[in-house]
Structure 1
Amino acid sequence: MLLSMSIKQKYIYYCQFILLLILPHLSISQQCISRYFSALYKATNWYIPIKAVSTPGKEIVAVGNTRNDHGYITRLSSQGSILFSKQYNPIYQNNTTYFKNLELNDVITLGDGLQVVAGTVIQDKYIYQAEYINRLGVLFKIDKFGNVIWSKKFESLNGTNNNGFELGITNVIEKSNGDLLVYLSSDYGKNYNAYGKLVCLTNNGQIKWSFLLANGLEGDLSDNRAITETKAHDIILAEIVYKKERQPQGPQVTAAYLHTISINAQGNLNWEKAFVLPTASEPASLVKINQLENGNLVLTANIVCKGIVDAQSLNRAVRIVFNSQGALLSTVSYNFPGENTIVRDVNNLAGSEQVYLLKNDNNSALAGLNSNGDITWKEGILDPVNGFPATCFTRVGTGFAVFMSSYQSLFTRLMLTSEYGFIKCGNTPVSLNTDAITFDAYTIKTNPGEPDPNRFAISDFPIKDGSFDLVGTIDCKENVSCCYNSIDTSLRTIRICEGEHYTLYDGTVVSTPGMFYENHQLPAGCDSIVYYNLEVIKNPSHLSLGEDQCLKGKESLFLNATGGYSNYRWMNQAQSTDSTFKVTRPGSYWVSVQNSCGEKTDTITVFEDCNLPILMPNAFSPGNDGRNDIFRLPSSNKNRFVSMQIFNRWGQLVFGSTDSNRGWDGKFHDQPQPPGVYIYYLQLRGLSGDVMNQKGTILLVR
């Protein structure tokens, strides 16, 4: 029978045979590569995915928030296997500043395949027993295993204004040169105008420039906006601006505008346009903006408006096309017949085509649009069990991964459709209306000479990750080819020395401790996942006892060796896990460590007195004969070097240094100085830290 099989079939049977041999160590279930599938994931807390992206390896990364505002990130294989699921929380930095409610807003996949995540966090700070609560922007980068590579916080410098002058990051994109561009939203309280900021950062989170968006209107900015970079490397921003007027019953929204801005790569304004929205009292939102192949810009938004054909005032998904200078070219709206409809997310495809995820309380649908905005295909998406609404989606291969969830349930559904949104167990008939709408032009001037009322600072922001437990089952699929998915249930431990690295099967290099995975996808497409626990053994070469110390005025002191080693041997005593050692008298003390990465001993001297005598030579003979050529602080001195200056007899400075390893070679501007007496000023610190000054003379002999 084997002789009649194809090579592919033989390989599949061979892989299955090998898997059966190692069955005691693996969780194996026969799975089939699916044209589509539907999976249900259960957590221990209510949660909703709000944004999903795919990776170059066709894995799915979803970010979201739990009902108590904790951010989480889940990574899934293209077959729905859970690669990791983690919850992220700030690390408390001191006993006067606390953080809570890390809420994630956006995620992007970078050119290197890793992700940058944007969000906000609440800071609760106590200053002189007064409590101040403010919102900060947060941006962090993770690797493919969910480990935080770097994280930054964006904090207002007006930190003593309670419940005002707050910041948050709502959008992030990667520019063509690898820089990051974030929108920093601001809330200054009811007595200030609306402001925002575009901030350009390097790919490791260092600021390059920021652009203040002050429009001079006494109103608010919407909670979201859309950003893109053009082929000419200009930045296009779209935002919703609300105008308020003071009335007896309080400030009232009287107008709403769609505001578009073009900024060049250096952060300077190119042009700006504005249009009056039909309804001021109803909130509008922006989803995505991008550039078409012909250079035009297409913006996707949700706006309450009336169509030309359908005069009902409804919330509609609207596609707005501008030319490269911001002039309005066309508008098309999409909605379920007679119903409010929003576009939840947009995926851009090749050839200026787009796919919309449309939804309302009763319906969800995927719709493909061509470059003119015409609907070329549509499929209704329905959770057949729980009736969850769609929350986000992303392109995976030729299909689409659609997440559906609700804060009223512990479950989230993932539907991975085939091309054109098809999934037999999740499709439902759908009708969509298209209509045209019109906007009137308006004028808004950005940065009308106003000072920035909310300067900000960027600093490191420690974030820790913890487990966010998920279990998943596939309850619907159409098979294309069958093989075995396998997940190794035994956590394999890999040990490396500090400074070394380990290379995974796919070429990923890891060097920090934690849990990692390898997905050896079989030729037929099934997952073969192995998990590793990487332990990093501290290198003994880093062992240090620090600088010499003194006992004066103290009965005892503790010596502190470099931490992180499993065992220490102090002064020939038995091995101990303690990195500290108590001494009560002067002398030399040593400690040694030994492990599989090597061994090292370090020595320290404890003196009775803290300020030791300063010993300096009184002559030197720079003759390049290798004997007494340099005048410097002798190594026998135990005080700590700060600086040394040398002057000639006319008071001219001929040498100065703050480096104890440097000394005077008898030259000034590379010219040998004449023999004679020179004056030196020496500044040291005793072992106690007290400053010690000494003035003396040195005889230069030739």
Structure 2
Amino acid sequence: MKVHPLLLFLLSLLPLTTFSQQGACVKVQWSENYGGFYNESANSLLQTTDGGFLAIGYSRSDNMMLTQNNGKSDFWIVKTDSLGNLEWQVSLGGSEDDIASDAVQTPDGGYLVVGGAVSFDADVSGNHGGEDVWVVRLNASGTLQWAKTFGGSANERAEAIEPTADGNYLLVGYSQSSDGDVGSNHGDFDYWLLKISGNGTLLWEKNYGGSNSDFGFDVKQTTDGGFLLAGSTISNNGDVSDNNGFYDYWVVKTDAEGNLLWEKNYGGTLEERAYSLCTTPDGGAIIAGTSNSTDADIQGNIGSYDFWLNRIDENGNLLWSSNFGSPGEDRAFSVAPLSNGRFLVAGFTVSDGGQVSNHFGSQDAWIVQLDIDGNFIWEKNLGGTKQDRFFSIVQQSNGGYAAAGHSFSDNYDLPGNFGDRDLWIVALSTDSADIDLGPDTTLCANDALVLQTGIDSASFLWSDGSTLPFLLVSTNGSYWVEINQEGCLIRDTIKVEYLFETPVGLGTDTTLCQGDSLLLAPDIAGADYQWQDGSSDSIFWVKIPGRYWVRVVKDGCEQRDSIEVDFVSIPPPFPPAAFLCQGEQLLLDASQPQASYLWHDGSVAPQYTINGPGLYWVRTTIGGCRSTDTVMVDFQPGPDSIFTSDYICEGQGIWFDASFPGASYLWNNGSTLPRLKAVTPGPYSVEVTVNGCLFKEATLLRACEECLYIPNIFSPNGDGINDVFRTFPACDLTDYHQRIFDRWGNIVFESFSPNQHWDGNFNGQKANPGTYIYFIEYLLHNNQQPLPQMQTGTVTIIW
């Protein structure tokens, strides 16, 4: 399927400006023009099973090669042999414009031709209104078998036909109707997909698009039984999403019943038109057309409109896009796969420069060959000094190429001209020069590769700008060479990948914290490993200090690397448990050079003193490494309050009790019993041993009389020295009662507190000097029951 000039009116006419041409790597086997005095053009070309060619397009003439014209433009089908000799031609149509777009050869050797018909008479019947899709069935000799129209009351046209795996046919084009054979319309022109049987029966139809114009130009069946459609859209709603601005390439993927699976837009803010696609072995596609944008999906623009080629995967993801052309206008209309995995793209160019190396004049037909990655291989201009275009290109069964379109020229590659525009077919030889840098390759690090073309009589241009016959490669990259052999420009590309271009990296020598581990993982897919310990896993865990190395082998290439790993060791400062006797202290020392500390209670000193039971911990930090150690301290308490009395009264016995579970005893009198009875004043002591802990306690037991000190003389003369008589208690006394008598038995002083004193006066007069008798009674509290005590004596007054 290729584009025809009248269609360009629907899409906004392509400008006709000046073209250029370049040197050729293929030779013209033959070039033939066909037509009459007026306008003829081929929109599609196919090689027939007999080795000849069928050109499909339109004609406005009825003379020279043409025997009739039904009015305005007719379908024109031209059959030639393998050398371009005309075997037959047929004009079909009515009184209006009828233009053929594409054709396929049927299994019986006949043909199905599709396009658009505005006519409603002569060969065209059943027109629904406006322009209809018109399908014509010819036998192998070009005789009309039947013709059918499909459409609605507005305008429809078929641009491509594709045979399906089930023996039927798929047509793609566009529709403006929502009646007749057209089930619905999203607005203005929609993609229109029709499936028909071999006898022209409509099996189903689908339309896709948005509220603006959507033009479908090509369709191919995919390996999953579905279909891939390509064209252009200006819509941004309905089935269309993510329009980049003005017209975009629009690719639609359907299932075998035409149900929409996904759709994708490709382009920039200006104009992109897709006219042709071919599938790739991976289930994706190459899409060809034209672009004048410089943003979004377009990597760059050479000038005005460029050939724009996209490659997508089976899900529509854009793998690459490439621009080809000159500073002027360049438009691509057809892409064809080649048996060597490359692709040919055909269209026209109006100037030289860029990738266009020559120019005949006005518009030249232009062919570009590229590889599967979009790399430029060679290019060729064909034509004369006037306007010449290709709309379709195919590979011949002999390996050469054939292209068709139209020509106004009668010089250079054109043998003549019948008048105005002629239908034009060119057959080209296989590449007259070919180069092969070899398959993409993988080398070992530090290896070198010499790239050579094997061609001597040529000039060379390498990707680095050098012009020698060879190129020395030593780094990863994509390398190309372009040779010029007698005006033939051809290019080849090779990708060179170096194994271990980035060396095996175990990392720099490092220090880890005790208890940490380090994963060594060179992560080179498909490699074999040997570690210092003889293991062969792809990874190695480091858990102890030392030097580690690995030998990595892949595809015969070897790399080695090593790393020194040290560990910060913080030894535990404590035993796991400790034992402490009551009254003892334990010093916990966590001291380490250049360390910081945090204890359980928040203190930060390197040492900590404990004197009781419990769980104690410290966190030691050295250079970012932390270690926490704990100690459980068990505690042995001793007996409490063994000696409960400090005084002993006459006739009294006091029991001292040192009893403690599991203990042994030794008193100062040699007794080993837990209890001891004291009956006299004096020193007492005991040693109590429990779980290895020795507890000692001692006391001095005094006589009760020593509990209260009573002076025996005082001199109340007012000199401030010993002026009063008072008692001095040394223990706990209550119920104190003191009385002092003269020699006649008179009470001269009485008090109820040891703190009260006698100043030597009696009845307001100084008492006579001499001796007085005192009686003092009290209760003695000596950690036992209170004991009543009475002390008597004399005190002397000296004046």
TM-score bracket, normalised by the shorter chain, equals 0.3 to 0.5
Which structure: greater strand fraction? 1
| Bigger RCO (CA 8 Å, 6+ sep) | 1
Q: Give the structure-1-normalised TM-score.
A: 0.47
Greater gyration radius: 2
